[in-house]
Amino acid sequence: MPARRTRLSANDIEFFDEVMRQYAYFKRIFNDQNDVFYANQVEYQVALTRFDGGKNSPHPIGPNWRPARDQIENYLKMCETLCCREINDFVHRIIVQHASHAGLMCLIIC
């Protein structure tokens, strides 16, 4: 039996394009921060102690991080806003990296 073809609507294609744009955006930011952390491991370790395990994070970290279904779009916007913030020190870099990671996980899991 031949494979069944599924036709995507223009809305479906637009949705997939937007998801892939967001995925590429968050992945680029995450990788950029990783490169800086790798090149400056001592400063990164010091910043991690100041970050205090996420207690200073502006978005939820831990097992209950997932947004409710009706809040996914707002959650992704929050992550995107945090990724755009000005980076003044390594703690800010950690916050940006966590936001980009949270955005990636939300796109993949939610």
Residue 1 has pLDDT above 70, yes or no: no
The DSSP output letter for 56 is T
pLDDT of the residue at 86: 93
pLDDT at 58: 67
Cα Dmax for the chain: 61
For 50-56, which contacts have Cβ atoms below 8 Å and span 24 or more sequence positions? 50/91, 51/91, 51/94, 51/95, 54/98, 56/91, 56/95
Task: Render pLDDT for 66-75 as a digit per residue (tens, 0 to 9).
Answer: 899 999 999 9
- Print the SS3 string covering 8-67: CCHHHHHHHHHHHHHHHHHHHHHHHHHHHHHHCHHHHHHHHHHHHHHCCCCCCCCCCCCC
How does pLDDT run across 33-47, given as a tens digit for each residue? 999 999 999 999 999
pLDDT at position 50: 87
Task: Give the model's pLDDT for residue 60.
Answer: 72
Question: pTM for the full model?
Answer: 0.84
Q: Which two tokens stand for residue 99?
A: 């936001």
> How many whole angstroms separate alpha carbon 58 and alpha carbon 95?
8
Percentage of the chain with pLDDT > 90? 69
Task: Give pLDDT, residue 61.
Answer: 74
- pLDDT value at 80 more than 80: yes
Copy the structure tokens of residue 3: 């494979």
Q: Are 33 and 100 in contact (CB under 8 A)?
A: yes
pLDDT number for residue 106:
94
